[in-house]
Amino acid sequence: MKEERRSARIIESPAFRVALLAILTALTAVFTSVVKIPIAPTRGYLNFGDVAIYFTAFTFGPVSALIAGGVGTALADLLSPYVQWAPISLLVHGLQGLVAGLVAAIPWRSKSKVFNLFWLVAAVAGTAVMCGGYLAGGTLMVGFGAALVELPGNLLQNLVGVAGAIPLTIAVRQAYPPVTKLRW
Amino acid sequence: MITQVYRKKGPSAFHNFDPRTKIVLLLAFLALFFLPIPVAQLGIYLAVVLLITSIFLGIHNTLRPIRLILPVLILVVLLTPPFHRYGTVLVSIRGFTVLSLPGLLETLRLIVRFTGITVIFYLFLGTTDQDNLILAFRWFGLPFTLSLILGIALEYIPTILMLYNQVQDAHRLRRAGTEPDSEQAPVGAPSRTAAAGRRSRGESKGLFRRLADAVPVLTSVIVLSVRRIPTLAMALECRGLGRKNRRGSHRSLKSGRSLLRDGTIALVVVAALAGSVVLFH
């Protein structure tokens, strides 16, 4: 009980929240811009930005996912040659993280489990927000036809994101149990 | 260790232009490319943007972002006309409208828009220090907490990148050392474990197999990063974050004559753009 009160006080500290969000934002930016899997048929790459967003949403909550997801991916775009996508990434990935975090948080007050079925529901909701957001933003920038071509890639990106985020969440909780107390 | 790696010092005057006025000009040009004005007029504005970028950054740097978006532009050319098959027919095959006049105009509009947006973002944000950019956002009202998160995240990106490379190398060498065909190198001879690691990297693997291989690496990187949070929080508290006393500011953007000069130039440019839109519309 005493330990829980101490953990709650630490989380409420502005300095701790700033530090937490800054580290998560930097992690998301690195996952988006550096951690990649090449896809042989198209010679393209899948990045791990969505893995970071879903991991943050499942582990740290909706507010952390909103800020880390939006700002982290926008920073990755700013540091890459695709600067023009930064505003759209900020909005779309921020909303993706927020929605996924809110949905994943619904059964949180119940007994804890290693795997939470609502993570899959949260991932579906996040995927809908991300794909819909990029379709809308892409339509403004490059037209509906060219934006539609990106849709299968975005769906695959989210599938990889969920497939990576769930085992990553379980593995990090097992490797570093105090991480569960950093949620707010 | 926190390091400064994002210094952008260029020879052009545009690099030293006030970042606040750069943001105003960026927004003005962004709005311009979304206005419902004739395509020819948009093309003239694009030409002006390309000319300004060539003057300040050189032709090679101006063509660089355009080369990167060429595949997208090709997609726009191929996929926009099918969604605009109404109006005056320009090209038809056996009665099927391949290209119509509205389709052609819409394609040109999207090409000009996307190219213009790409180049202006490259020009404005590529010539601005990240630190000055954050200060400019602060001046426009971005909360101090958010600007602090941005600044610290930028400082920590190289650190986390370094962690990722170290952990990845460690996992790769461990995998190479446990492969059945790896040999024990004699002392003083070049190690063959690195070569075995390179061979294993070159092998084709399924997507989900690669994902499964990445999870241990990412777990280590995340745990090592999250463990730094308490230390960083203590450092921030030592510097007074969260206290009620007024915070100090140790960096600021320039003010006085140079701000007046840059602001006047920005106002003149925005007025000229607005005037040209009204005049030629």
The CATH number assigned to the domain holding A121 equals: 1.10.1760.20
Structure tokens, B224? 């090592």
Q: Among B150, B204, B219, select the one facing A71 at the smallest CB separation.
A: B150
C-alpha closest to that of B124 among A82, A83, A89: A83
- pLDDT in the model for residue A64: 95
Residue A81 · residue B64 · CB < 8 Å: yes
Alpha carbon dihedral A131, A137, A140, A145, in 10-degree steps, equals -20
Alpha carbon dihedral A160, A164, A166, A172, in 10-degree steps, equals -160
CA-CA-CA-CA torsion sign (B125, B127, B132, B138): negative
User: Which residues of chain B have a CB within 8 Å of the CB of A176?
Assistant: 223, 226-227
A contact test, residue of B129, B211, B245 with most A CBs within 10 A = B211
User: Which residues of chain B have a CB within 8 Å of the CB of A19?
Assistant: 152, 229-230, 232-233, 236
- pLDDT in the model for residue B200: 45
Long-range contacts of B200-205 (CB under 8 A, 24+ apart): B200/B172, B200/B175, B200/B176, B201/B172, B204/A40
**Over residues A1-26, mean pLDDT:** 79
Residue A154 · residue B84 · CB < 8 Å: no
- pLDDT in the model for residue B214: 86
> For chain A, what is the domain count?
1
- pLDDT in the model for residue B250: 67
pLDDT greater at residue B240 or residue A20: A20
**Over residues A48-76, mean pLDDT:** 95
Strands (E), A82-173: none
Q: Among B76, B146, B208, select the one facing A142 at the smallest CB separation.
A: B76
The SS3 of residue A117 is coil
Structure tokens, B212? 């499964």
Residue A44's DSSP bridge partners are A39
Question: Rounded to whole angstroms, how far apart are CA atoms A124 and A110?
Answer: 21
pLDDT greater at residue B246 or residue A30: A30
With a cut of 50, say whether residue A32 has pLDDT above it.
yes
To the nearest whole Å, the CA of B204 is away from the closest chain A CA by 9
User: Which residues of chain A have a CB within 8 Å of the CB of B148?
Assistant: 18, 22
C-alpha closest to that of A173 among A22, A165, A35, A109: A165
Residue B93's DSSP bridge partners are B96
User: Which residues of chain A have a CB within 8 Å of the CB of B80?
Assistant: 143, 145-146
Q: Among A23, A39, A40, select the one facing B228 at the smallest CB separation.
A: A23
Q: What is the CA radius of gyration of chain A?
A: 17
End-to-end Cα distance, chain B:
56
User: pLDDT band for position A5 (50/70/90)?
Assistant: low
Indicate yes or no: CB of B236 within 8 angstroms of CB of A40.
no
The SS3 of residue B19 is helix
Residue B191 · residue B169 · CB < 8 Å: no
Q: Among B65, B125, B219, select the one facing A168 at the smallest CB separation.
A: B219
Residue A126 · residue A99 · CB < 8 Å: yes
Q: What single string gives the DSSP state of each residue in B30-96? A: HHHHTS---HHHHHHHHHHHHHHHHHHH-HHHHHHHHHHHHHHHHHHHHHSGGG---SSEEEEETTE
Indicate yes or no: CB of A148 within 8 angstroms of CB of B114.
no
**Over residues A44-51, mean pLDDT:** 85
User: pLDDT band for position B241 (50/70/90)?
Assistant: confident
**Over residues A28-44, mean pLDDT:** 77
B contact test, residue of A7, A11, A13, A16 with most B CBs within 10 A = A16
Structure tokens, A140? 């403004």
- pLDDT in the model for residue A134: 94
User: pLDDT band for position B14 (50/70/90)?
Assistant: confident
**Over residues B100-119, mean pLDDT:** 92
- pLDDT in the model for residue A8: 61
Cα angle vertex A75, ends A105, B55, to 5°? 155
Residue A147 · residue A167 · CB < 8 Å: no
Residue % of chain B over a pLDDT of 90: 35
- pLDDT in the model for residue A6: 59
Residue % of chain A over a pLDDT of 90: 60
Structure tokens, B54? 């060539």
- pLDDT in the model for residue A111: 56
Residue B92's DSSP bridge partners are B97
Indicate yes or no: CB of B149 within 8 angstroms of CB of A25.
yes
pLDDT, tens digit (0-9, with 9 covering 90-100), for B121-146: 988 877 888 888 888 999 999 998 99
Residue B19 burial (C-beta neighbours within 10 Å; 0-12, 13-18, 19+): buried
pLDDT, tens digit (0-9, with 9 covering 90-100), for A92-138: 999 999 999 999 988 655 555 566 778 889 999 999 999 999 999 99
C-alpha closest to that of B177 among B190, B201, B193: B193
A contact test, residue of B149, B155, B159, B224 with most A CBs within 10 A = B149
Structure tokens, B241? 């974050």
To the nearest whole Å, the CA of B184 is away from the closest chain A CA by 31
pLDDT, tens digit (0-9, with 9 covering 90-100), for B47-90: 999 998 998 888 888 898 899 899 899 999 999 998 888 888 88
Alpha carbon dihedral A118, A122, A127, A129, in 10-degree steps, equals 150
User: Which residues of chain A have a CB within 8 Å of the CB of B214?
Assistant: 35, 37, 48, 164
Mean predicted lDDT score pLDDT of chain B:
82
User: Which residues of chain A have a CB within 8 Å of the CB of B161?
Assistant: 30, 34
For residue A69, give its domain range: 2-182
To the nearest whole Å, the CA of A46 is away from the closest chain B CA by 10
Residue of A nearest to B240 (CA): A15
pLDDT, tens digit (0-9, with 9 covering 90-100), for B183-211: 444 444 444 444 444 444 444 567 778 87
User: pLDDT band for position B178 (50/70/90)?
Assistant: low
Q: Which residue has the tokens 């009665």?
A: B95
Question: Rounded to whole angstroms, how far apart are CA atoms A110 and A112?
Answer: 6
Strands (E), chain B: 89-93, 96-100
Structure tokens, A133? 């957001």
- pLDDT in the model for residue B11: 66
